[in-house]
Amino acid sequence: MKEINVAVTGGAGQISYSLLPRLISGETFGPDTKVNLRLVEIPQVVDKLEGTIMELVDCGFDQTGSMLATADIKEGVDGADWVLLVGSIPRGIVIDGKKIEERSDLLKINGGIFTDQGSAIGSLANKEAKILVVGNPANTNALIGKKHANNDSQQWFAMTALDANRAKAQLALKTGSDITSVSNMTIWGNHSPTMYPDPYNAKINGTSAAEVINDKKWIENEYLPLVQQRGKAVIDARGASSAASAANAAIDTVKAVENVTPENDSFSAAIASDGSYGVPEGLIFGYPLRTTAPGKVEIIQGLELNEFAQSKIQITTEELLSEKEAVSDLL
């Protein structure tokens, strides 16, 4: 069997509970690859990972390799081929007597985590490592991590696949279509309520979803907010943020990067802008992507963006620029 080293931060959190079994079951990296798992947690929680590892052993998957629990990010990412950065500090937590509510405070605290994690990844993870940031604010965390990694042979992503899956599911529900008939879904910009899920370039059985639905009012006034606010709706209904669907989206992203994208389709993730579609270079921006060979990802060019799309993309770009500004001392 081949072997792959996968590091996951936030290994004792709720997303990881759904994510880890699927990483080592053969589903994600294939039946012929053994997965060595490195689970990273904060020191207060690291002991709990022993219980997680016991359960993973008890799953009895053929593809399970070695497993390690650590509070040392350097040990965790040493030799990693994939790093899934799931751990972060949630909004509402009390630190030094202060409740962290403001997005700017959250940006700073989590940004601080990603400086150290980024530099450990840049110097110790594999040359061609892929890094997927799930922990919020994902795009700006990835911006900070990538900067501190300072290693251009590695590829950083921030996760927008959950938004893309939500956006596809709502199109399928609206039209009574099978979800497999919905393709080419792009989440442009930030993984936040300013994201732009693109129903004009998404397709249902090969035809523009917006054309199939033929209801501009629904698309612009109902569909967009539905997708943009879906995370909050799940929290309100479940009393906790999305976990199984977030883990599923992380698996989808890894698989999308590891496997050539089917012809006439694309996938969604945020990567460093190269200036495509007029987005300032370097911002970690949600784009339509295609994998041309395992691990080789490119931005799909030439999609048409109408005035509505352009105005939405402008809003999410401005938000990302202001997040960048808020963490400028970390960059």
Ligand X SMILES: NC(=O)c1ccc[n+]([C@@H]2O[C@H](COP(=O)([O-])OP(=O)(O)OC[C@H]3O[C@@H](n4cnc5c(N)ncnc54)[C@H](O)[C@@H]3O)[C@@H](O)[C@H]2O)c1
Q: Binding residue for ligand X (CB under 6 A) from 6, 7, 9, 317?
A: 9
Rule CB under 6 A: is residue 145 a binding residue for ligand X?
no
Distance of closest approach, residue 98 Cβ to ligand X, in angstroms: 17
Rule CB under 6 A: is residue 203 a binding residue for ligand X?
no
Alpha-carbon gap, residue 165 to 251, rounded angstroms: 12
Residues contacting residue 43 through CB under 8 Å, at least 6 positions apart: 71
Rule CB under 6 A: is residue 140 a binding residue for ligand X?
no
Alpha-carbon gap, residue 160 to 162, rounded angstroms: 6
Q: Which lies closer to ligand X via its Cβ, residue 241 or residue 314?
A: 241
Residue of 166, 191, 203, 230 with catalytic role: 191
Task: Identify the residue whose tokens are 């690291």.
Answer: 46
Stretch that binds ligand X, among 5-13, 167-175, 193-201, 215-223 (CB under 6 A): 5-13
Which amino acid, one-letter code, is at 96?
D
Q: Which lies closer to ligand X via its Cβ, residue 202 or residue 247?
A: 247
Query: Beta 33-40 vs 2-9: how paired, if at all?
Result: parallel
Distance of closest approach, residue 180 Cβ to ligand X, in angstroms: 22
Alpha-carbon gap, residue 31 to 244, rounded angstroms: 22
Alpha-carbon gap, residue 25 to 31, rounded angstroms: 8
Rule CB under 6 A: is residue 107 a binding residue for ligand X?
no
Rule CB under 6 A: is residue 87 a binding residue for ligand X?
yes
Stretch that binds ligand X, among 8-16, 251-259, 301-309, 312-320 (CB under 6 A): 8-16
Task: Please state whether 189 falls in left (phi above 0), alpha (psi between -120 and 50) or beta.
Answer: left
Secondary structure class of 117 (helix, strand, coil): helix
Per-position x/- string for 229-258, each x denoting binding to ligand X as judged by CB under 6 A, each - no binding: ------------xxx--x--x---------
Q: What are the beta bridge partners of residue 286? A: 189, 270
148 catalytic? Reply is no
Alpha-carbon gap, residue 256 to 48, rounded angstroms: 31
Task: Please state whether 298 falls in left (phi above 0), alpha (psi between -120 and 50) or beta.
Answer: beta
Rule CB under 6 A: is residue 84 a binding residue for ligand X?
no
Rule CB under 6 A: is residue 81 a binding residue for ligand X?
no
Rule CB under 6 A: is residue 113 a binding residue for ligand X?
yes
Q: Binding residue for ligand X (CB under 6 A) from 6, 7, 15, 256?
A: 15
End-to-end, the C-alpha distance of the chain in Å comes to 40
Q: Binding residue for ligand X (CB under 6 A) from 14, 175, 183, 259?
A: 14
**Which positions are annotated as active-site residues?**
191
Contact residues for ligand X (CB under 6 A)? 9-10, 12-15, 40-42, 45, 86-90, 113, 134-136, 138, 159, 162, 191, 241-243, 246, 249
